[in-house]
Chain A
Amino acid sequence: MAKIVILGAGISGHVAASHLRRKLSKQHEVVVVSPNSNYQWIPSNIWVGIGRMKAEQILFPLEPLYKKKNIGFKQAKAVSFHPEGDKEVTKPYVMVEYVKGEDKNTFEKVTYDFLINATGPKLAFDMTEGLEPGKNKAYSVCTYGHAEHAWHGLKELIEEVKKGKKAKILIGTGHAKSTCQGAAFEYILNVEQELRRHDVREMVEITWIANEYQLGDFGMDGMLLSYGSNIMRSNEMIEMIFEDRGINWIIGAAVNKIEDGLAHYETLDGEYKTETYDFAMLIPAFSGHGFKAYDKEDKDITEKLFKGFMIVDADYTPRPYEEWTVQDWPETYQNPSYKNIFAPGIAFAPPHAISKPRVSKNGTSISPAPPRTGMPSGITAKLVAENIVDIINGKKTLNHKGSMGNMGAACIASAGFGMTKGSGVSITTYPIVPDYVKYPDTQGRKLGKTFGEIGLAGHWLKLTLHYAFIYKAKMKPFWWLIPE
């Protein structure tokens, strides 16, 4: 009889919990610990942020589903890790603090046989002065709550523009090391389309601001992709889209301070500049949660578990960017010190940047952190669940592996909502982490599997994924047939 505790109920945590419950008999216990009571399909936040979807359409409450499926649920947040237990508790445990209900603010030692850390990133708004969702007219779409808030801000601006006001919109990244450029990219194209729909596009100047060295970097060092019968670089493709939509861009920019209607930033050239805006959506930096870990003697062993995010089976040896290899990336997401702890999705510490690190003339590091989107989060969570099931069933080795250097990903970026007027930029990339040895002539990626398409079909695809993945997350009949 084993007890598996999963921290987090985002894409990664929920996928792991669903597969574990499906594959393990009822004598084994699966417990999810999450401060959030709802599951949210994050990729659709973009549409909440332009008012084309309600938050209720992209979320559902977790507790009733978990109760029905015999998955334990504690609405609590992890506080500290005790992988050896302590003087009183011999089993490993996680200290959690309840965030709701009668037990609010009380602590519990949740023991486990296996622990899956799927806590994702901390949205580190505090790393940029003045960047706080909704404050200073700068918003976020990182959660459904933020996205709803952003829509209210955008709606107010559209009303003002309809009355004759000329406005400036700024969308992109809000920190020198932000990642998730894809979400900002989707949002800027959707906002642009909504302004056209409201017939106010000509009154609004739209600007993209990002820490990327080139457009279309997406934290993945860009890519060479096939587009129709052509082969082009992702920066050329994104440049084409932005020019066609009349969107200006500022790149290599580290936003370091936000004031009401003012975004201060530093460029790679070392210049300090300011951009004005009437509405902004800026993705913050992502960071680890700052968890602490202790051994049974209560001695701090945080460095055995965390390096910002959780340490897994990656090669973290510091090396110059040119010397890293695809083999550095983790395959099983198992912590090397405590073999019963795993960290799939965004919770694991990446061994190095994918996008080439760049430093401004003032010494500020300005380059995107590695992205880990929904698809790899789901795939890595599933393989962790499968490995745990194997161990419980007596296997000695971890047979399920999934390196981001041997995994494809699809990014269906919405470029506008609407069954007949919508659009999407569908990009697939294989592998996610470029393998320059295997694919030396195509920038580390396989061309046939790395392609881009623009058009209405992209919107339908994104909408299909929305419904399919919510169906899957609700664990409806045959949910497991839908791939991660």
Chain B
Amino acid sequence: MTQRISKTKRFIMMNPIIQFFKYIYLSIKILIVVAGGHGGTRKKV
């Protein structure tokens, strides 16, 4: 195994308090991407 994720980063990734705020942030961000609408790509002739 090669340690590619630093101990600090790993702490952030697994800390429940930090991750709780990350969860709220990600939920909103994902909702914006997903529910942000969709449509066609072709120009109307």
The chain A residues found within 8 Å of chain B, CB to CB, are 240-241, 243-246, 326-327, 329, 331, 375, 379, 383, 401-403, 405-410, 412, 420-421, 423, 426, 428, 430, 435, 449, 451, 453-458, 460-461, 464, 483-484
Contact = CB atoms under 8 A, between A and B. Distances in A.
Contact of A329 (B20, B27, B30, B41): B41
Nearest to A437: B41
Interface of B: 1-5, 12-16, 19-20, 22-23, 26-27, 29-36, 38-42
Nearest to B13: A455
B19 A456 contact: yes
A60 to B, nearest CB: 24
A464 B27 contact: yes
Given A244-B4, A457-B22, 19 more contacts: A244-B3, A327-B41, A331-B42, A403-B42, A405-B41, A406-B38, A406-B39, A406-B40, A408-B33, A428-B29, A428-B34, A435-B41, A454-B13, A455-B22, A456-B22, A457-B23, A460-B19, A461-B26, A461-B27
Nearest to A402: B38
A409 B33 CA distance: 7
B34 A455 contact: no
Nearest to B30: A410
Contacts, number: 102
B4 A240 contact: yes
Given A428-B30, A455-B12, A456-B16, A244 B40 contact: no
The SS class assigned to the A binding surface is mixed
Nearest to A244: B4
B26 A483 contact: no
B38 A426 contact: no
A449 B42 CA distance: 21
B38 A453 contact: no
B2 A403 contact: no
B16 A430 contact: no
